[in-house]
A and B are shown apart, each in its own frame.
Chain A
Amino acid sequence: MRWACLSLLALAFGCAMDARGGAGFDDNAEDPRASAQDGGGGGQGGSAAGPCESDLNCGEGYVCFRGGCVYQGVDGFTPGALRDGGVNEVEHIPTLNAQVSAGEDHVWVPSEGTDTVVRVDGARLEVEVIHVGARPTRALTRPDGGLVVLNWGSDELTLISPEGVAAFIPLGGHLNALDLDPSGRFAVAWLDAARLSWAEDAAALQDALIIDLDAQSVSWTTIGYAPSRLQFIGDEAVFITADGLSLVRLTDPPRRAPLVPLAINVFHMDNREVLLSEDGAFAVSRGPGEAGITWVALPDGLPQLVPLDEVPSDIDLLPDDRTVLAMYGTSAALIDLEAPQSPRTLDLEGHTLTAAAVGEAVAVLFSAQQVEAFALLDLETEALIFQPARKRVLGASVAPGGQIALLWHAPEPGAELEAMHGFSSLRLSDGFTRFYPTLTAPVGVSFGPAHALILIGDDDEAPSAQLIDLESLALRAVPLGRAPEAAGFLPALHRAFVTQRHAEGRVSFFSLDDDGAPVQTVSGYLLNGRIR
């Protein structure tokens, strides 16, 4: 059914794209840059990749090279001479780096220093210390309540059952990133170049390991150069690499498709902001110096450039999964991917707004450069309203449900309020904002079904967690003993947790419903593993 839908979508894009279940995926191809498989005909250029005797056998943008079609780019691209808004989004959103994973009623905390994973029961505060491999760096909760752990130091995976029984799967190579597909059956280990440390084994820089957790079997597959992100779409793992997109179908054994180019210029494939549509039908991207956005149908389309007046500084996909919002300073554009050559320009009325965050029906447009202004865009009517901001907006995060956004503010030169950090909760439906000044910059945010939890402070600056009710925007400050590291929600208990910086481990739990209920803290739990 899904493939049928995708075929319809491909037709809607005017593509001759085959159903994704068939063409494109090949478990024999060794060189992802030059597939010998019959292509499905990407974009507007016909056959994209496949065996060839001459260029005539290849699609647009491909050159026949030693019997195979190799992507070489599409003519007609003129590098933008205009202002480059930067490839990376200019917005700043506090991001948590601590590797903590939550189940329905418990928290898993990997401890690199002790080669253990600690399970803390969020109701009874009981602690279980489970020995895993060397330097567990990433832990992900499975839907059944178990855990999968990547042991960075011993290159093995530890599977922990819901009962706490550990099983080990050697990886056979060094990888530093781990993701779990939504079904929880497959784990994908890969090497994130951005996380590589000095002298770390980087031999697997173009490898991905697909682990069938049910069968406890592992399969290596080759992907593009220097993957930076992995996203699951259906039963496919999509790697964003410096060579383009690598698509791997999660089967046992896995199957992969030829690389999907992201840019019309083969030399501009790296360092792009890439968005994937939720249905996996296409990818949209922007690159440095490109006055436009590029989109490509998946899995085997040809990149298409939609020219814009300026180099966009941010792109976002709207909830319809078909419209792209591109920000480029004093104006913005809405590009309907079903009619991409006719972008609709939005006049920002003299405001310079360079970034956006998209809610369910409204997008918030802002600029980290311009002080004290943001705009709300009604995604249905395309009406714009402009609002004063309490402080300069560094970034925006939209809460699940798309009704509330959090604006992250920057301190300004001055005294007291001006010099403080802070954030605002913004109701997207009417622009009502509530400003919360803070002494230090928020270090992270976690969203639950009805709450946002913002982590503030370090050991010396009144560390706390700020719990916001996303309905009423009421805020409750939860004081913490130590600097917060990570936070999350335990749905079965209606509780939240915050792990904190502490040599021997520290986690605090508190109720989401009962303001008067005490904060409960467990600390030093790593030492429990040393009790004889």
Chain B
Amino acid sequence: MKHALALALLGLLACDREAVWERPLQPSAPLALDARVLWLAPGWPLIAALNPQDLSVRILELEGLAHWTSGGGGLFAHPDGRHALLVREDQALYIDAEDLKIERRWTLPTPFARVTFAPDGQRALLHHDPGLPSGWAISNPNQLAILDLSSDVAPITRALMAFGAEPLSIIIDPKRTLFARERQWVWVFSDRYLAFFDLLDPEVDERVVHLVLEDDDREVVPQQIATLDGETFFVRAWGSADIFSLRLQPEAEAEALPRPWLNQLDSGGQADDMLAVDLSPARLFALNASTETLSIINPETGRRVSVALGFTPTRFMPFELEGQPAALLWAEGLPSVAFVDLTRVELERGRAVKLLRLDSGVTALKPLPTRAAAVAVLGANRLAILDFATESAVPLSAEGPIAGLTISEDGARCFAVVSGADGLSLIAVDVATAAPQAVPLGLWRGVLLSLPGADSLVIVDSNASLGRVKVIAADAPLEASALRTRGGILMEGVLTR
């Protein structure tokens, strides 16, 4: 009612801007930063930022950008949790979400659809969406743009050497000092090969590592890369029963990129996931669902120890337990989860693996910090607290589908939203006692976001096109009075725009 009135008023006051209101808002999915939730409304275009602590909303009108209703680009969360990068056609905007202002703006030589940030956030790499048209008449999918986010200098563009394929994924390594020189590797994965170059020296030619021989028609697609020392990198690839080890070796010319020396480590079959852990010495762990084994590989010698698991996990969920590396082994839809003490498993093999059999498939899994336990969503409607110390699983039934499983920072409670016949509920479970609590949120359909910088949980109602949330402090007792509501987020300040 209040919104309708506002719109009517606006129509009277700003009839010359009528065209804006005729355009749909088309808000994006909310983007959770550390302490803000952002919405991008490309139809107008604007960005709205919610501060969950005081429920204040600020609007950033994207001047200089034409509205858009389709095509690539979007809003990408910066690793510092404070900034976001908006990429749209020939523009890239670096936005401070807390002050909600455009810090920098660059003109791009060609549109890009994807952004990969350096882990330190100093640079961003803009690239194309694999397999999707760029929206322009023609584009080179192997072309990249590098933005220095601390500088207004125009982006550096470069085209990678290509062998009939396009980049499928890009990973940027942290900065490292290697052979007396600071480096930051960009790894570009393509079908049958990978390339890497130095983000800090992007003009130097990349290195290309083929993963198959010329006359080998296998599809070998790199999937994952890991390193422990920054000198040797491990690459897992689909289509290969080996993990590729690339040990960088200095070249005589200081300017040239180090030359990798390739070795292949037998992973006992197609590896579905890989984990590199420094156990002094280093070890690689590989999950082989097809053989139901966990392989522990000594990357120095290639020696492999195989541990029979008796089920087919495809994913590691690594975490630390009292400072020691551990991992959960699981697969989406699989009714089993195993806990593995990574420090013991090579010697003790199956004795270091604790398997919990469940009565339905796991759809989400979160480890609990500080102990060998986890919370799992089973199927759609069940939650289970898994305790690997006692090898017990405490099930909890919900009245509808569970989404947005979140663990509190201290690991004492888990949160989720449940969609029931009477609408959405926010639930919390004390993982020590398995005591559940729930508060109804009304006829909402939404997602649960956790904003650690604001110590808040935010439930976003995706039914509300103008933006509506409920917010609760992460450490507050779960009761209706602790929930605060904010609606009309995208309309904030509309009368003054």
A389 at the interface (CB under 8 A from B): no
Within 8 A of A (CB), among B76-119: none
Q: Contact check, A527 vs B262: say whether CB atoms are below 8 A apart.
A: yes
In the assembled complex, the Cα of A114 lies from the Cα of B266 at a distance in Å of 22
A residues near B161, Cβ cutoff 8 Å:
532
B433 at the interface (CB under 8 A from A): no
Given known A113-B213, A530-B214, contact A126–B261 (CB-CB < 8 A): yes
Given known A506-B264, A532-B207, A532-B208, contact A527–B213 (CB-CB < 8 A): yes
Query: Interface segment, A13-21, A90-98, A300-308, A515-523?
Result: A515-523
A531 at the interface (CB under 8 A from B): yes
On chain A, which size bracket covers the interface? 20 to 34
B residues near A532, Cβ cutoff 8 Å:
161, 207-208
In the assembled complex, the Cα of A524 lies from the Cα of B235 at a distance in Å of 13
Q: Contact check, B209 vs A527: say whether CB atoms are below 8 A apart.
A: yes
B280 at the interface (CB under 8 A from A): no
A residues near B36, Cβ cutoff 8 Å:
none
Q: Contact check, A524 vs B210: say whether CB atoms are below 8 A apart.
A: no
A526 at the interface (CB under 8 A from B): yes
Q: Contact check, B301 vs A521: say whether CB atoms are below 8 A apart.
A: yes
A481 at the interface (CB under 8 A from B): yes
Task: Identify B302's interface contact among A114, A504, A520, A527, CB under 8 A.
Answer: A520
Chain B window 36-75, contacts with chain A (Cβ cutoff 8 Å), 1 for yes, 0 for no: 0000000000000000000000000000000000000000
* Min C-beta distance of A272 to chain B, whole Å: 41
* Min C-beta distance of B79 to chain A, whole Å: 31
Among A113, A481, A522, A525, chain B packs the most CB atoms within 10 A around the CB of A481
Within 8 A of B (CB), among A491-532: 502-504, 506, 508, 518-528, 530-532
Task: Identify A481's interface contact among B209, B261, B266, CB under 8 A.
Answer: B266
A residues near B261, Cβ cutoff 8 Å:
126-127, 528
Q: Contact check, A524 vs B214: say whether CB atoms are below 8 A apart.
A: no
* Min C-beta distance of B3 to chain A, whole Å: 60
Residue in B closest to A507 when the chains form the complex, CB atoms? B302
Task: Identify B300's interface contact among A481, A503, A520, A528, CB under 8 A.
Answer: A520
Given known A524-B262, A531-B259, A532-B208, contact A503–B216 (CB-CB < 8 A): yes
Chain B window 256-281, contacts with chain A (Cβ cutoff 8 Å), 1 for yes, 0 for no: 00011111111000000000000000
B176 at the interface (CB under 8 A from A): no
* Min C-beta distance of A116 to chain B, whole Å: 10
Q: Contact check, A518 vs B263: say whether CB atoms are below 8 A apart.
A: no
Q: Contact check, A508 vs B208: say whether CB atoms are below 8 A apart.
A: no
A residues near B339, Cβ cutoff 8 Å:
none
Given known A481-B304, A531-B209, A532-B207, contact A525–B263 (CB-CB < 8 A): yes
A392 at the interface (CB under 8 A from B): no
In the assembled complex, the Cα of A521 lies from the Cα of B263 at a distance in Å of 9
Within 8 A of A (CB), among B293-326: 298, 300-304
Residue in A closest to B195 when the chains form the complex, CB atoms? A532
Chain B window 106-138, contacts with chain A (Cβ cutoff 8 Å), 1 for yes, 0 for no: 000000000000000000000000000000000
Residue in B closest to A527 when the chains form the complex, CB atoms? B262
Given known A508-B302, A518-B303, A519-B302, contact A482–B210 (CB-CB < 8 A): no
In the assembled complex, the Cα of A127 lies from the Cα of B212 at a distance in Å of 17
B residues near A113, Cβ cutoff 8 Å:
213, 215
Within 8 A of A (CB), among B241-268: 242, 244, 259-266
In the assembled complex, the Cα of A525 lies from the Cα of B304 at a distance in Å of 19
B33 at the interface (CB under 8 A from A): no
Q: Contact check, B301 vs A527: say whether CB atoms are below 8 A apart.
A: no
Within 8 A of B (CB), among A126-142: 126-127
Q: Contact check, B264 vs A523: say whether CB atoms are below 8 A apart.
A: yes
Q: Contact check, B303 vs A527: say whether CB atoms are below 8 A apart.
A: no
Q: Contact check, B263 vs A523: say whether CB atoms are below 8 A apart.
A: yes
B172 at the interface (CB under 8 A from A): no
B211 at the interface (CB under 8 A from A): yes
* Min C-beta distance of A347 to chain B, whole Å: 54
* Main DSSP-derived SS at the A contact region: loop
Q: Contact check, A519 vs B303: say whether CB atoms are below 8 A apart.
A: yes
Residue in B closest to A521 when the chains form the complex, CB atoms? B302
Within 8 A of A (CB), among B347-404: none
Residue in A closest to B210 when the chains form the complex, CB atoms? A530
Q: Contact check, A504 vs B264: say whether CB atoms are below 8 A apart.
A: yes
Q: Contact check, A522 vs B302: say whether CB atoms are below 8 A apart.
A: yes
In the assembled complex, the Cα of A506 lies from the Cα of B240 at a distance in Å of 14
Q: Contact check, A526 vs B304: say whether CB atoms are below 8 A apart.
A: no
Within 8 A of A (CB), among B222-250: 242, 244
Within 8 A of A (CB), among B155-195: 161
Q: Contact check, A518 vs B298: say whether CB atoms are below 8 A apart.
A: yes
In the assembled complex, the Cα of A526 lies from the Cα of B208 at a distance in Å of 14
Residue in B closest to A111 when the chains form the complex, CB atoms? B213
B residues near A127, Cβ cutoff 8 Å:
261
Within 8 A of A (CB), among B403-445: none
B residues near A508, Cβ cutoff 8 Å:
302
Q: Contact check, B265 vs A523: say whether CB atoms are below 8 A apart.
A: yes
* Min C-beta distance of A507 to chain B, whole Å: 10
In the assembled complex, the Cα of A503 lies from the Cα of B213 at a distance in Å of 8
* Min C-beta distance of B402 to chain A, whole Å: 43
In the assembled complex, the Cα of A521 lies from the Cα of B243 at a distance in Å of 13
B residues near A528, Cβ cutoff 8 Å:
261-262
A residues near B208, Cβ cutoff 8 Å:
531-532
Q: Contact check, B301 vs A519: say whether CB atoms are below 8 A apart.
A: yes
B residues near A114, Cβ cutoff 8 Å:
213-214
B residues near A504, Cβ cutoff 8 Å:
212-213, 264
Residue in A closest to B265 when the chains form the complex, CB atoms? A523
In the assembled complex, the Cα of A286 lies from the Cα of B212 at a distance in Å of 50
* Min C-beta distance of B295 to chain A, whole Å: 10
In the assembled complex, the Cα of A504 lies from the Cα of B260 at a distance in Å of 16
In the assembled complex, the Cα of A126 lies from the Cα of B261 at a distance in Å of 8
A residues near B207, Cβ cutoff 8 Å:
531-532
Query: Residues of B at under 8 Å CB distance from A?
Result: 161, 207-216, 242, 244, 259-266, 298, 300-304
Q: Which 4 A-B pairs have the closest CB atoms?
A: A521-B302, A524-B264, A481-B266, A523-B264
Q: Identify 10 residue pairs between A and B in the complex whose beta-carbon atoms are under 8 Å apart, listed by A's number.
A: A113-B215, A481-B266, A481-B302, A502-B264, A518-B301, A522-B302, A524-B244, A524-B263, A527-B213, A527-B262
Query: Residues of A at under 8 Å CB distance from B?
Result: 113-114, 125-127, 481-482, 502-504, 506, 508, 518-528, 530-532
- Add 10 more A-B contacts to A518-B300, A523-B264 (CB < 8 A): A126-B261, A502-B264, A518-B301, A519-B301, A519-B303, A520-B301, A526-B213, A527-B212, A528-B261, A532-B208
